[in-house]
């Protein structure tokens, strides 16, 4: 058994036991969460924004397996729902499955969030599809948007970028606060809707 599959097996065991803090403390980036690795403080930062905005849920678009979102839900107690594109991937041997409930949408209906998002936060983590981003923000009814991705000097690219929403983003959004994920040059950026 390779070290990576041994690590994955241990993470899955700890997941089944709800041991999210042990996972955060013991591991770093892995196949379940290849882009970012949050600290407890990072998860609390997002949870504090949810409480401050009186949000009862977070909707994470393009969440993949939902491992980050599971960590977030466990650490903060805020319900997290993942949104992903339907496809054969989710039933393939390469899929690790989902750690949270997923709302599977197809390309033609992605412009509609088929849930009430009025008291939700909309989250994009390492997202890379401008048209889909614009569609989701356009159908979003809440007042807080969080973008996680690379900051200056990280050497990776996302759409949207944490510190620069595209000009054509529907509505008026104001950047209010950010936090670096550990010392990674990845950032959590928080925006609120202005009237």
Which DSSP string corresponds to 39-53? -HHHHHHHHHHHHHT
**Does some domain include residue 171?**
yes
**Does some domain include residue 30?**
no
Are 84 and 64 in contact by the 8 Å Cβ rule? The answer is: yes
Residue with tokens 């770093």: 28
CA–CA separation, 139 and 113 (whole Å): 6
**Does some domain include residue 161?**
yes
Q: For 137-192, how does the pLDDT look when each residue is reduced to its tens digit (9 = 90+)?
A: 998 999 999 999 999 888 889 999 999 999 999 999 999 999 999 888 999 999 99
Burial track 88-122 (b if 16+ CB lie within 10 A, e otherwise): eeeeeeeeeebbbebeebeeeebeebeeebeebbb
* Token code pair at residue 15: 């997941």
Residue with tokens 């690379």: 150
Q: Hey, is 133 helix, strand or coil?
A: helix
- Name which of 125, 116, 112, 120 is nearest 62 in CA terms: 125
**Does some domain include residue 134?**
yes
**Does some domain include residue 108?**
yes
**Does some domain include residue 5?**
no
CA–CA separation, 111 and 113 (whole Å): 7
Distances (CA, A) of 74 to 19, 68, 83: 9, 10, 18
**What is residue 86's predicted lDDT score, i.e. its pLDDT?**
76
Q: Give the H/E segment covering residue 165.
A: none
User: E strands, 37-101, where?
Assistant: 57-61, 79-85
**What is residue 175's predicted lDDT score, i.e. its pLDDT?**
98
Domain encompassing residue 63: 36-193
What's the structural domain count of the chain? 1
CA–CA separation, 78 and 82 (whole Å): 13
Distance of CA 175 to the CA centre of its chain: 18
CATH number at residue 81: 3.40.50.150
**Does some domain include residue 11?**
no
- The CA-to-CA distance between both ends of the chain, in Å, stands at 56
Largest CA distance in the chain: 56
Q: What is the pLDDT along the chain (195 residues), one digit of tens a residue?
A: 456 678 888 989 999 999 999 999 988 776 666 678 899 999 999 999 999 999 999 999 999 889 999 999 999 999 999 998 876 676 677 777 789 988 888 777 655 666 778 899 999 999 999 999 999 999 899 999 999 999 988 888 999 999 999 999 999 999 999 999 988 899 999 999 997
**Does some domain include residue 50?**
yes
């Amino acid at each position: 058994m390779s070290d990576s599959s041994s690590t994955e097996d241990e993470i899955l065991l700890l997941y089944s036991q709800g041991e999210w803090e042990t996972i955060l403390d013991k591991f770093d980036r892995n196949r379940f969460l290849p882009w970012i690795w949050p600290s407890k403080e990072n998860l609390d930062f997002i949870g504090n924004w949810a409480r401050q905005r009186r949000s009862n849920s977070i909707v994470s678009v393009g969440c993949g397996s939902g491992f980050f979102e599971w960590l977030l839900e466990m650490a903060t107690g805020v319900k997290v729902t993942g949104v992903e594109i339907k496809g054969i991937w989710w039933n393939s041997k390469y899929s690790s499955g989902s750690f949270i409930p997923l709302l599977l949408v197809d390309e033609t209906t992605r412009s509609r969030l088929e849930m009430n998002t009025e008291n939700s936060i909309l989250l994009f983590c390492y997202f890379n599809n401008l048209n889909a981003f614009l569609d989701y923000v356009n159908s979003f009814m809440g007042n807080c948007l969080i973008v996680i991705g690379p900051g200056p000097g990280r050497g990776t690219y996302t759409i949207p970028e944490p510190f620069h929403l595209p000009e054509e983003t529907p509505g008026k959004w104001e950047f209010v606060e950010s936090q670096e994920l550990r010392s990674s040059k990845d950032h959590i950026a928080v925006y609120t809707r202005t009237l």
